[in-house]
Homo-oligomer: A and B are copies of this chain.
Amino acid sequence: MTSSIEKYDIVIVGAGPVGLLLSACLARWGYKVKQIDMRPEPTATGRADGIQPRSLDLLRNMGLKRDIMKHDPAKVYEVGFWDPMDGGKGIHRTGTWASCPKFIDARYPFTTLLHQGLIERVFIADLEKNGVQVQRPYRITGFKQDGKDSEYPVEVSISHVNGDESETMRAKYLFSGEGARSFIREQLGVKITHKDPIAHVWGVMDGVVRTDFPDIKMKCTIHSDAGSIMVIPREDHMVRLYIQIASSTDPDWDPRKQATTEEVQEAAKKILKPYYIEWDRVEWFSVYPIGQGIADRYTLDERVFMGGDCCHTHSPKAGQGMNTAFLDAVNLAWKIHHVESGFAERSLLKSYESERKLIAENLLNFDAAYAKLFSSRQISAGEVGHVDKHAASGQQPQEENEFIKMFKASCEFTSGYGVAYNPNLFNWSEEHPAKHDYFLSEPKRTTTQRTGRILTPSTVTRVADANVVHLEQEIPLNGSFRLFVFAGKPSVTRKAITDLASNLRKKSSFYSAYMRKDVDSVSYHERHNPHSHFFTIAIIFNAQRPKIEIGDLLPEILARYNDHVYADDIWDQRVPDAQAAAHAKMGLDQEKGGIVVVRPDGYVGCVVKLAEGSGTVDALNAYFGSFVVKKVGGETAQL
């Protein structure tokens, strides 16, 4: 063990979306982070720009949404589909579709469009508050695990891009957020598998335009006899156009095919006819070949990890790249945190790859189908019937072309709410080692919450200050498991709640096992982690707010979560007849309640019955006991 060398919890290479979100989480949770980036400055123009509804939830949960929104990004609520008219008369609209339709219960049913550099700067400002400065322009030059320091096993070398200065350090973890051309992935010898053999050359142009094309402020896919184009609105009157320049299916395929700004503008003018389009200015223009690829592994040893574009590349059209990167990062962040905090077994880090690679595979399948449709010449509207009359009436068209069908089917996916992790130790299922009659799951028992999926949003009243709040946002991204105790009717559950508290107090419970060492000196004003960093508790009663006297209804250890006690007394249009809308949305009995355990990243881990006796805590102990380091549950658990 060397002593002069600087040591870090993690070295993060790359300050794009995946690297920045990872470092933002870990820096907040007190880890020592070294982050480098090859570029002298954050992204100046272009690149990714679409924030999904689900990602906006995540950014809000980090307290960063307001900083994103202050830039007045464009918001895409609808997507328009345009196709050629018969007889070469140019294009016409054949339908529109909600970007995030009502069947998805989204808090923010729109895609937010903002230049990647502005998004990066929001993270950079947050990092600086936590003492992390991205070191630029620096590159990684080598890394090895020489067995010299079991606590900090990875030695990492970096140098200034001009080669002048270099540093060597040790770290517990190394992360590659380098993008598609990753030094770390190369060094590890991890291969990229190209799922879809078809590659494309894309042109992308950001600019300020004048046009009479009526949907210029919406996302549109336009197919015409002169080619295809995708329109995406941006902040500051800007519009992004994506245009396909070549495809590996072309007879004269050349992956290095180029196009000038003027050529792309000419093509756009032809495609948009009978509408005109002119450019005030072009902010950014780029032509690049892109193929679909996915890394075979995301880590070899749970010490060196990769994420973001380093692991998956695909076409830019569905706006998935940055969002998938964000979710890679948050998935890894909390798992590292739980292992390093002594909560979870180290082997749980394997679930980063198993969970996130599945999502990337789904993304690539989706993207391949989407891209194929996009680049193929569409049939004319006349051939599929007049779709727009249905769309306009709010009904779904009876006849739709393949593209629209595909688009609708993929809305859940593109919104980010389609992410569904398979059963594993974190995501309970009937096959989970924790066996207890109290686990609730669809369809057998009563809950709408599916493990591995995001918690359904709901609106409640905070008891302490009568504020109307979004329950799913009340516990910030603090690295803790979230126990949402839907406590039903106070008169019905009084004993169940008392029993919950007394069983939590038992020495064998997860509550006692992971009690903070400084529990006696925690600030009076601590809202989220008064007892433990392992979990935060929220309690939601089916009662009117003024009826809830926290001191009367809750035993001391639950009353400590004073700022996380809520009244389920806000009417919700989605469950208009419910007495307690949040209970109803969770699919829980409105009188008896139930406990929804949510992972630190917002996905449901398990749902447990709330009842008198020790069963509720036994089930929770069994769930947590399956992956935590300390033994919990045990003799009192009725397995």
Q: Provide the bound-state CA to CA distance between A391 and B466, in Å.
A: 14
Contact present for A468 and B544 (CB under 8 Å): no
Contact present for B237 and A392 (CB under 8 Å): no
Q: Provide the bound-state CA to CA distance between A122 and B67, in Å.
A: 15
- The smallest C-beta distance from A261 to any residue of chain B, in angstroms, reads 20
A214-B549, A547-B392 known; A465 vs B74 contact (CB < 8 Å): yes
A217 at interface, CB cutoff 8 A: yes
Most chain B C-beta atoms within 10 Å of own C-beta, residue among A70, A76, A217: A217
A66-B70, A214-B551 known; A393 vs B544 contact (CB < 8 Å): yes
Mark out the residues of chain A between 202 and 238 whose CB falls within 8 Å of any chain B CB in the assembled complex: 208, 210, 212, 214, 217-218, 233, 237
Q: Provide the bound-state CA to CA distance between A280 and B110, in Å.
A: 44
Mark out the residues of chain A between 108 and 126 whose CB falls within 8 Å of any chain B CB in the assembled complex: 110
A96 at interface, CB cutoff 8 A: yes
Mark out the residues of chain A between 525 and 552 whose CB falls within 8 Å of any chain B CB in the assembled complex: 525, 544-547, 549-551
Please indicate the chain B residues that have their CB under 8 angstroms from the CB of A388 in the complex: 546
Please indicate the chain B residues that have their CB under 8 angstroms from the CB of A573 in the complex: 571, 573
Q: Provide the bound-state CA to CA distance between A467 and B546, in Å.
A: 36
A358 at interface, CB cutoff 8 A: no
29 contacts between A and B (CB under 8 A): A66-B66, A66-B70, A67-B70, A75-B465, A75-B467, A76-B465, A76-B466, A77-B465, A77-B466, A77-B467, A77-B468, A78-B466, A96-B466, A110-B467, A208-B525, A212-B551, A214-B464, A214-B550, A217-B464, A217-B465, A218-B464, A233-B465, A280-B524, A391-B546, A392-B544, A392-B546, A392-B547, A393-B544, A394-B544
Measured CB to CB, the nearest residue on chain B to A388 is B546
Please indicate the chain B residues that have their CB under 8 angstroms from the CB of A550 in the complex: 214
A69 at interface, CB cutoff 8 A: yes
Contact present for A524 and B210 (CB under 8 Å): yes
Q: Provide the bound-state CA to CA distance between A571 and B573, in Å.
A: 10
Measured CB to CB, the nearest residue on chain B to A394 is B544
Q: Provide the bound-state CA to CA distance between A280 and B69, in Å.
A: 36
Measured CB to CB, the nearest residue on chain B to A527 is B237
Most chain B C-beta atoms within 10 Å of own C-beta, residue among A67, A77, A461: A77
- The smallest C-beta distance from A554 to any residue of chain B, in angstroms, reads 12
Please indicate the chain B residues that have their CB under 8 angstroms from the CB of A571 in the complex: 573
Please indicate the chain B residues that have their CB under 8 angstroms from the CB of A69 in the complex: 66
Measured CB to CB, the nearest residue on chain B to A217 is B465
Q: Provide the bound-state CA to CA distance between A546 and B549, in Å.
A: 49
Q: Provide the bound-state CA to CA distance between A465 and B214, in Å.
A: 9
- The smallest C-beta distance from A459 to any residue of chain B, in angstroms, reads 13
- The smallest C-beta distance from A380 to any residue of chain B, in angstroms, reads 20
Please indicate the chain B residues that have their CB under 8 angstroms from the CB of A214 in the complex: 464, 549-551
- The smallest C-beta distance from A572 to any residue of chain B, in angstroms, reads 11
- The smallest C-beta distance from A122 to any residue of chain B, in angstroms, reads 12
Q: Provide the bound-state CA to CA distance between A544 and B547, in Å.
A: 42
Q: Provide the bound-state CA to CA distance between A547 and B93, in Å.
A: 12
- The smallest C-beta distance from A238 to any residue of chain B, in angstroms, reads 11
Contact present for B466 and A218 (CB under 8 Å): yes
Please indicate the chain B residues that have their CB under 8 angstroms from the CB of A96 in the complex: 466, 546
Q: Provide the bound-state CA to CA distance between A96 and B569, in Å.
A: 16
Measured CB to CB, the nearest residue on chain B to A465 is B217
Please indicate the chain B residues that have their CB under 8 angstroms from the CB of A466 in the complex: 76-78, 96, 218
Q: Provide the bound-state CA to CA distance between A465 and B215, in Å.
A: 7
Please indicate the chain B residues that have their CB under 8 angstroms from the CB of A70 in the complex: 66-67
- The smallest C-beta distance from A106 to any residue of chain B, in angstroms, reads 12
Please indicate the chain B residues that have their CB under 8 angstroms from the CB of A77 in the complex: 461, 465-468
Question: Chain A 452-491, CB within 8 Å of chain B: the 1/0 string?
Answer: 0000000001001111100000000000000000000000
Mark out the residues of chain A between 506 and 537 whose CB falls within 8 Å of any chain B CB in the assembled complex: 524-525
Q: Provide the bound-state CA to CA distance between A96 and B69, in Å.
A: 35
Given contacts A66-B70, A233-B465, 5 further A-B contacts (CB under 8 A): A75-B465, A76-B466, A78-B466, A78-B546, A214-B549
Report, nearest first, the 5 A-B pairs whose CB atoms are least far apart: A217-B465, A78-B466, A77-B466, A392-B546, A392-B547
Question: Chain A 296-323, CB within 8 Å of chain B: the 1/0 string?
Answer: 0000000000000000000000000000
- The smallest C-beta distance from A94 to any residue of chain B, in angstroms, reads 11
- The smallest C-beta distance from A417 to any residue of chain B, in angstroms, reads 18
Q: Provide the bound-state CA to CA distance between A145 and B29, in Å.
A: 64
Q: Provide the bound-state CA to CA distance between A67 and B393, in Å.
A: 40
Q: Provide the bound-state CA to CA distance between A77 and B546, in Å.
A: 12
Measured CB to CB, the nearest residue on chain B to A210 is B524
- The smallest C-beta distance from A221 to any residue of chain B, in angstroms, reads 15
Mark out the residues of chain A between 65 and 101 whose CB falls within 8 Å of any chain B CB in the assembled complex: 66-67, 69-70, 74-78, 96
Question: Chain A 254-281, CB within 8 Å of chain B: the 1/0 string?
Answer: 0000000000000000000000000010
Measured CB to CB, the nearest residue on chain B to A212 is B551
Please indicate the chain B residues that have their CB under 8 angstroms from the CB of A525 in the complex: 208, 237
- The smallest C-beta distance from A108 to any residue of chain B, in angstroms, reads 11
Contact present for A465 and B218 (CB under 8 Å): yes
Please indicate the chain B residues that have their CB under 8 angstroms from the CB of A110 in the complex: 467
Q: Provide the bound-state CA to CA distance between A466 and B99, in Å.
A: 10
Measured CB to CB, the nearest residue on chain B to A552 is B214
- The smallest C-beta distance from A566 to any residue of chain B, in angstroms, reads 13
Please indicate the chain B residues that have their CB under 8 angstroms from the CB of A210 in the complex: 524
Please indicate the chain B residues that have their CB under 8 angstroms from the CB of A461 in the complex: 77
Q: Provide the bound-state CA to CA distance between A392 and B544, in Å.
A: 7
Please indicate the chain B residues that have their CB under 8 angstroms from the CB of A74 in the complex: 465
Please indicate the chain B residues that have their CB under 8 angstroms from the CB of A76 in the complex: 465-466
